[in-house]
Amino acid sequence: MLTKVYGSAVFGVEAQTITVEVNTDIGVGYHLVGLPDNAIKESNYRIAAALQNNGYKIPGKKITLNMAPADLRKEGSAYDLTLAMGILVSTGQIKEGHSLEDFIIMGELSLDGSLQPIKGALPIAIKAKEEGFKGFILPEQNAKEAAIVDGLDVFGVSSISEVIAFFDESQTLEPTQIDMKAEFYEHLEHPEFDFADVKGQESIKRCMEIAAAGGHNIILIGPPGSGKTMLAKRLPSILPPLTLIEALETTKIHSVAGRTLEKGGIMTSRPFRSPHHTISDVALVGGGQYPQPGEISLAHNGVLFLDELPEFKRSVLEVMRQPLEDRDVTISRARFTVTYPASFMLVASMNPSPGGYFNDPNAPVTSSPAEMQRYLSKISGPLLDRIDIHIEVTPVPFEKLSEDRKGESSVVIRERVTRARLLQSERFQEMEHIHYNAQMGVKQIRKFCRLDEASLGLLKSAMERLQLSARAYDRILKVARTIADLEDSASIQGHHISEAIQYRSLDREGWLG
């Protein structure tokens, strides 16, 4: 008897439906074809034990299972439930009260028949809806995530016995429901990390607000203990709330990487990723024999924080250059190519010298000029070209640390940032790939960042006097445009330029030359 049951494979962040054909015939044997990997080839042992422990069996017949399309490699243990249900129906051990062909069925089997969670539940659910399936049966741990998709019945189950009972109509299953509004806005008024907790550092908080408003990459330079990491962790709390489209994009990436279970559904806050400086280039940008998203893709629509930037290997930092420019990363293999989105804000921090205390007025300088130059030169010019804001962070004095007064909350700052982002959305509404100021190219800078004679003279004078590099020119204009947006100013004024000039520390003589 020939039976068809449907599963799904995930490539990049998109899913493709897999048809599993199960045929039973006279004879003895178990033949699994269609380019399965080792995890799938081993599934017959898990399936046999699970069926045995639930009152069923793999009968002594010739069973042929084909996973189509046969030229597409399948991987992982999530097809256990798909294959098991095909075998049960094909061998007549259960009847089809509901048609198998109406459902996508996925799940990894334990030997007692219970189900383990799978990766990629959200992209699979999206594909199932597109292709007209009525429902999606999967482990209950993944049900909330898949239920985000409207128009598809998602049934979360804990064991194969529940699936069998559903198909022979001895038991009904209730579709998983999710309250999107409650999920989406629950965290906004009470962020885990709030700028109100930061004592002092008003100028740095202002700088972080500008970076958030324009989507600018930023590097914080300061001695140990000055608050660089504390400030960076709070940056996501002042970014505009995720839109539904952004939330779905972000959740898909984390779903593919198997990182959504602890979040229990859609990702409602912007991701913050902080890899250690020993990370490899593959772990950062993604890849592997079977490509998985890296840290830069897991930070999509959020923040990637690189603490102690010069300590990262040069090769690791250099592979970020293309994703920072194109906002996606393409991983190519002999048989296929996958593309992961990687639109993130880069926040980096570093000590100003190997000893750490170059710009601390209360600490002695222990590093020679040659040592400092060698330390700072670990960051390449092309990488710095992609960082709009450089800001020096100095330690907070005791008087500020000990005062009871709290600073401005992230909620209040986020309101100003969101208003500025709305202005930018209107400005760039006719441009497909530009949504905020940091994404402007040369043409957009010339069009939207025009200066009057006084402001132009001020910028020229500052560049000559401070010996700012040529790379600083466009960066200053983009940051000045964001400062003007925060003030709801249609044009860039002289004081906007003056403030933007302060945020190019590493271009000044004596830093990187």
In a domain, 205, yes or no: no
The pLDDT of residue 377 is 75
In a domain, 40, yes or no: yes
Q: Give the separation between CA 340 and CA 107, rounded to whole angstroms.
A: 25
Give the pairing of strands 286-287 and 292-293: antiparallel
What CATH number did the domain enclosing 105 receive? 3.30.230.10
CA 207 to chain centre: 24
Of 242 and 156, more confident: 156
Q: Which of 278-287, 344-353, 374-383 has the lowest mean pLDDT?
A: 374-383
Q: Do the Cβ atoms of 409 and 194 come closer than 8 Å?
A: yes
On the question of pLDDT at 230 being above 70, the answer is yes
Average pLDDT for the chain: 88
Of 132 and 227, more confident: 132
Strand ranges, E, within 239-381: 272-273, 286-287, 292-293, 303-306, 328-332, 337-341, 345-350
Q: Give the separation between CA 178 and CA 173, rounded to whole angstroms.
A: 16
Element of type H or E holding 501: helix 494-501
In a domain, 492, yes or no: no
* Residues whose CB falls within 8 Å of the CB of residue 154, separated by 6 or more in sequence, listed in order: 125, 135, 136, 138, 143, 146, 147, 175, 176
- Per DSSP, what are the bridge partners of residue 68? 19
Domain limits for position 140: 2-167
Q: Do the Cβ atoms of 345 and 387 come closer than 8 Å?
A: no
The pLDDT of residue 469 is 72
Q: In what order do the strands lie in the sheet with 303-306?
A: 272-273, 303-306, 345-350, 218-221, 389-392
Give the pairing of strands 115-116 and 108-109: antiparallel
Residues 487, 271, 503, CA angle at the centre, nearest 5°? 40
In a domain, 163, yes or no: yes
Of 375 and 461, more confident: 461
Read off the pTM. Answer: 0.88
On the question of pLDDT at 509 being above 60, the answer is no
Give 181: exposed, middle or buried? Use CB within 10 Å, 0-12, 13-18, 19+: exposed
Q: Do the Cβ atoms of 83 and 57 come closer than 8 Å?
A: no
In a domain, 121, yes or no: yes
Domain count along the chain: 1
Q: Where are the alpha helices (DSSP H) in 286-338?
A: 295-298, 314-318, 321-326
Residue 466 banded pLDDT, cuts 50, 70, 90? confident
In a domain, 462, yes or no: no
In a domain, 36, yes or no: yes
In a domain, 50, yes or no: yes
